[in-house]
Amino acid sequence: MSIPKLPGQVTACLFDLDGVLTHTASIHAKAWKEMFDAFLKGRAGGEGVAFQPFEIATDYVTYVDGKLREDGVRSFLASRGIAIPEGSPDDSGDMDTINGLATRKNDLFHTVLERDGVTVYQGSVDFVKIVRDAGLRRAVVSASKNTADILEEAGLADLFEARIDGVTAAEQHLAGKPAPDTYLAGAKALNTDPANCAVFEDAVSGVQAGRAGKFGYVVGVDRVGHADTLKENGADIVVSDLSELLVES
C-alpha cells in the first residue's frame, strides 16, 4: 500500500493543473506561440522591424507560464518594449489589445483542446487519489479560466473539494501568480492554515507564489528540465512526477 511522503504538518494539498496533473501546459505553450508570432509578424511588417519569434523555452517559461492570461500578455509585451491598449474583457480575438490578444490565445487553445482532448499524468493523478484516501484536504489552483472544463474532460473534478482558477481570480479580484493570492484563497477554501498546506507547481511563477505565501511545503514539478530554476525560486523539493512522493507503508 502506497502513502504520500510529505512533512508531518501537511494536512492539505494545493495542486496546479496544467503541467502538474494534465498535459495541457504544452497546448497552452503552442497556443501562446502561435498567437504571439502572428501578432509580432504583423507588427514587424507594419513597422519595418525584424521579426523576433516568441520562444517557448525562454519567453513562455519566463513571462507567461502559470500567470493569468492577461498578465502573461502584459509581461511578454513589456519584455519586448511593446505597448498596446488594455481594451476590455469582452474584446474579440481580432483586436490588438491586451484583452484581445488574451482572447485570441484562448480561442487557439480551445481549438487544439477540442481536437486532441486532455491527457493526464497518471502517476500524479494516482498521487492525488492516495492523498484523498489518506484524509488530506485537496484543492486545484490554476490561472486558467478553462479549469472546470479541463477537469471534467479529464474525469478529475470529483478529486477536489475546491477550485480556485482564472474565473475565481477575476470575480474576487485576486492577483495572479507569482503573487500568492490564489493559493491563499485555496487554503482558505479548505479552512487550512498555509503553514499546513503543500503546494504542487511546475511553473516558476507558481513556486514563487508558494514561497511568498509562506506555505508549509512547496513541491516543484519539473517537466521541461528546469529543476535548478524551480529550486532557486523557492521549491523545497523538485520531482519529475508526483508519483515520486509515494512510499510503501
Q: Provide the annotated active-site residues.
A: 16, 18
Q: How far apart are CA 249 and CA 212, in angstroms?
A: 33
Contact of 202 with 223, CB cutoff 8 Å = yes
Residues 11/136, Cβ–Cβ less than 8 Å: yes
Alpha carbon distances (Å) from 59 to 36, 117, 133, 201, 220? 11, 25, 39, 18, 19
List the grid coordinates of 93.
Answer: 480575438
3-class state of residue 226 by DSSP? coil
Amino acid at the residue 224? V
Report the 10 Å Cβ neighbour count for 73: 28
Q: State the angle between helix axes of 69-79 and 98-116 in degrees (0 to 180), rounded to the nearest 10.
A: 120
Nearest-5° Cα angle at 10, 160 to 26: 50
Whole-angstrom distance, CA of residue 220 vs CA of residue 217? 10
